[in-house]
Amino acid sequence: MRFLPLCLQSREKVPDMNDLAAAAQAWGIESGYFDVFGKYYAARPETLERLLTAVSGGHERPPELPAQPEPIEAFQGDDRKLWALAAQLYALRSRRNWGHGDFTDLGNLIACAAQSGAAGVGLNPLHALFTDRAEQASPYAPNSRVYLNPLYIDVDAVPEFPGLEEAGLAAEVAALRGTDFVDYTRVAAAKLRGLTLAHANFRTNATAERRADFEAYRHEQGEALLRFACFEVLRCKYPAPWTEWPQPWRSPDRVQLRRFRRANQEGCEFHEFMQWIADRQLAACAKAARHHGMPVGLYIDLAVGIDRHGADAWSQQDAVLADVSMGAPPDELNRGGQDWGLAPFNPHALPNDDFKSVRLMMRAAMRHAGAVRLDHVLGLQRVFMIPLGRGAVDGTYVRFPFHHLLRVVAEESRRLKCVVVGEDLGTVPEHFRETLTRWGLWCYRVMLFEREGDGRFTPPEAYPAGAVATFSTHDLPTFRGWLEMYDLAVKRGIGVDPGENDDARAWAHKKLHEILSERVPAWRNYEIAAVAAFLAQTPSRLVVMSIEDMLGERDQVNIPGTTDQHPNWRRKLPVLLEELGEQEDFRRVVEAFEQGGRRYRSE
């Protein structure tokens, strides 16, 4: 079912479709936008025309959506005030991994976090990327949001893996463990070699129990897994983007895919095998969190868009706009706007089959999580879309069926008993946050941005209860980097406008010192622990502290708008996972949360 353009749902007459602006408006394409500074940009005629062509698919009127749904509350968990430790999983350094954090590392981190009184462990998106282009490492530009990145598999833990020595990988793995940055190309080569050997042994020697579990997983995943596995094999056969593949592989039906799998059984089964292993290892981590009594468990990020050349874009062609890009208008840190290079959903196709594409994505994210964070949740209401080949300022907003999407998110949240957090940073529409609150989605409060007009930090009591509070994010400086102005120097050194001068930062430092001295005087000499003590005083249900801040890291995880200028998504943690609990700053943060009443259990 396709729905009537949003702006027409309350109108009696259809605007003249010969009028470009009226036609665009009828399809939810806004005629211009304001940036964060209040400057208005009128959308170019070319922008309106290209976006209209993309979202309408040549149709003049699709049928109308049902009436706006009544709010239902998403799952809330219990009402305790808690804290969680956040980590980039790939960055974990351990004595046993293959130079890239894996699910066994995650299990060990869960044990450490639980012992420290954390209610959960926050993670970067675990989405499938492209193992043959592993250096394209951003977890926010996924091949698929439905399936997992096999680089997180602990190959040693796969029963069919013959071992490092027999696989001829002992020396390579030892070398990969010693690097300060993740060498994605070599890690991918080693893991794929190990998993190929494991799969070969599985095909010939799997126990009946293992084979039955694999087949149960395949049956449960159904056509979605069939499409993903076939896509991965087809990518090897036809290296060009799928839009250039020979017919019928550009858009095959189920019968053709089943025939293809029979003809390429070993290759397709290998990708199904990797997804099965990854799913079962992640499930074991979730089980471990429950065993430790963690109220939240895994708190996982869900990326806002997908790679237009990836599996999801190919599998859901009716629901995805592959010829436009998502982004954001100009703001303080990005004066020219942002082009994220990601493909968005088509709002006019989403209601098909009761939002099947959205439900599939949400269920995959919530499958093993106690909470999920929706990256750029503003996209539930409107998405800033840019025609391919144009600059970011040449985009404009396209409206989405906001309340219907909230209904879907809330229903899946209740079904899977998973809290939903909306990352609501950026240019926020009027009443947007109030609407999220009515539907039970928690908001996101970043201390660096919670400031008054004169630069003072917002007092803790002003934070909302239904929120996740944190000092920073992966796209912002770490606490130490911010305090030492290191981030400003790094950005200037690579030609990126930091959006702030030294005087403004010094003023912010002064204001931070004032609020910490006033609100947490006993902790003011311990810096990051003082910030933890401050955030612990907020009414917010969950406070999240990044492991980078707890270890005093200076470099931030990602500098938006950069590729090769900065080692985004590559830097490993400075200490071994096995030694994490021994670090002084780590222990002080744990103590600050405990004294602030956020430890989830007393022992």
DSSP-assigned letters across all residues of 4-60: --GGGTT-SSPPPTTSHHHHHHHTTB-SEEE-TTS-EEEPPHHHHHHHHHHHHTT-S
Omega within 30 of 0 (cis) for the link into 15: no
Six-digit token string for 32:
């211009």
Gap between the Cα atoms of 11 and 402, Å rounded: 18
Looking only at the bridges linking them, the beta strands covering 324-328 and 338-339 are: antiparallel
Ramachandran quadrant class, 564 (left: phi over 0; alpha: psi -120 to 50; beta: rest): alpha
Distances (CA, A) of 18 to 6, 11, 22, 399: 19, 18, 8, 21
Gap between the Cα atoms of 379 and 305, Å rounded: 10
**The length of the chain, given as a count of residues:** 603
Torsion of CA 400, 401, 406, 411, to 10 degrees: -130
What angle separates helix 265-291 from helix 103-115, to the nearest 10 degrees?
A: 10
Gap between the Cα atoms of 371 and 365, Å rounded: 9
Count of alpha carbons within 13 angstroms of residue 519, beta-carbon side = 23
C-beta atoms surrounding 103 within 10 Å: 23
Whether the CB-CB separation of 321 and 306 falls below 8 Å is answered with: no
Query: Which residues in 240-254 are b (16+ Cβ under 10 Å) and which e?
Result: eebeebeeebeebee
Q: Is 47 exposed, middle or buried (0-12, 13-18, 19+ CB in 10 A)?
A: buried
Reduced to 3 states (helix: H, G, I; strand: E, B; else coil), residue 336 is: coil
Reduced to 3 states (helix: H, G, I; strand: E, B; else coil), residue 97 is: coil
Rounded to a whole number of angstroms, the CA Rg of the chain reads 24
Q: For residue range 419-446, list pLDDT tens digits in order.
A: 999 999 988 999 999 999 999 999 999 9
Gap between the Cα atoms of 506 and 546, Å rounded: 23
Q: What pLDDT sits at residue 2? A: 39
Q: What pLDDT sits at residue 465? A: 97
Share above pLDDT 70 across residues of the chain, in percent, rounded to a whole number = 96
Gap between the Cα atoms of 457 and 451, Å rounded: 4
- Nearest 5°: phi and psi at 205? -130, 10
Gap between the Cα atoms of 90 and 342, Å rounded: 22
Gap between the Cα atoms of 360 and 381, Å rounded: 19
Beta bridge partners of 421: 373, 442
What angle separates helix 208-237 from helix 254-263, to the nearest 10 degrees?
A: 100
Gap between the Cα atoms of 136 and 228, Å rounded: 19
Q: For residue range 72-114, list pLDDT tens digits in order.
A: 999 999 899 999 999 999 999 999 999 999 999 999 999 999 9
Six-digit token string for 452:
């008054």
Whether the CB-CB separation of 122 and 85 falls below 8 Å is answered with: yes
Within 377-499, residue ranges assigned H as helices are 402-416, 432-438, 479-483, 486-493
Q: Is 296 exposed, middle or buried (0-12, 13-18, 19+ CB in 10 A)?
A: buried
Count of alpha carbons within 13 angstroms of residue 379, beta-carbon side = 24
Which residue ranges in the chain fall short of pLDDT 50?
A: 1-17, 602-603
| CA geometry: angle 343, 346, 352, nearest 5 deg | 135
Gap between the Cα atoms of 392 and 395, Å rounded: 6
Whether the CB-CB separation of 398 and 55 falls below 8 Å is answered with: yes
Gap between the Cα atoms of 536 and 82, Å rounded: 8
Largest CA distance in the chain: 73
What's the distance, CA 380 to chain centroid?
15
